Amino acid sequence: MSVVILDFGSQYTRLIARRIRELHAYSVILPGKSTVEEITAHDPQAIILSGGPASVLQPGAPQPDEGLFDLNLPILGICYGMQYLVLHFGGRVILTGTREYGRARLIQCGGPLFAGLEDGDLQVWMSHSDAVTELPPGWRGTARTEDNPIAAVESPDGQMFGIQFHPEVV
């Protein structure tokens, strides 16, 4: 299996690649602005949109090539990546004015991304100041925390997922 990670400047991008390799899959890190041609040259079976220090609400915020949504590949957005997916497909993201940083208890609401995991005391790492407040049409929330009512999302076709937390940080 080959996974392309589009890097939007996250301090954890190399850690994402390491976690993928620990699962015995190949991963390659490409700049977030890579073209579809550059992405498909690696014959990926999945794409990850990394986190990053920017806000998706800033003018000129980094964005992937929109053609990647035509590739019919599973896409996982982590933190900034989730916020980008939500905003791109018609949801709402706000700048909260505060920064959520540190461990949080994840409360799962279902979906295939969390299949096989028990609900309860799953601790995750949060590092963000933007938050999703409204889902795109047809999308559903699949997890929350005490402070974040939308901590994970899933597209209607089940091909795109977003998580506000950083699973690569354990």
Catalytic residues: 79, 166, 168
Amino acid at the residue 129: S
Alpha-carbon gap, residue 24 to 26, rounded angstroms? 7
Q: Where are the alpha helices (DSSP H) in 23-108?
A: 36-40, 80-88
Alpha-carbon gap, residue 75 to 66, rounded angstroms? 12
Q: What is the DSSP letter of 159?
A: S
Alpha-carbon gap, residue 123 to 103, rounded angstroms? 6
Sequence-ordered list of residues with C-beta below 8 angstroms from that of 44, at least 6 positions apart, any chain: 2, 3, 4, 73
Collapsed DSSP state (helix, strand, coil) of residue 43: coil
Cα Rg, the chain, nearest whole Å: 15
Following CA atoms 142, 143, 148, 154 in sequence, which dihedral angle do they give, to the nearest 10 degrees?
-30
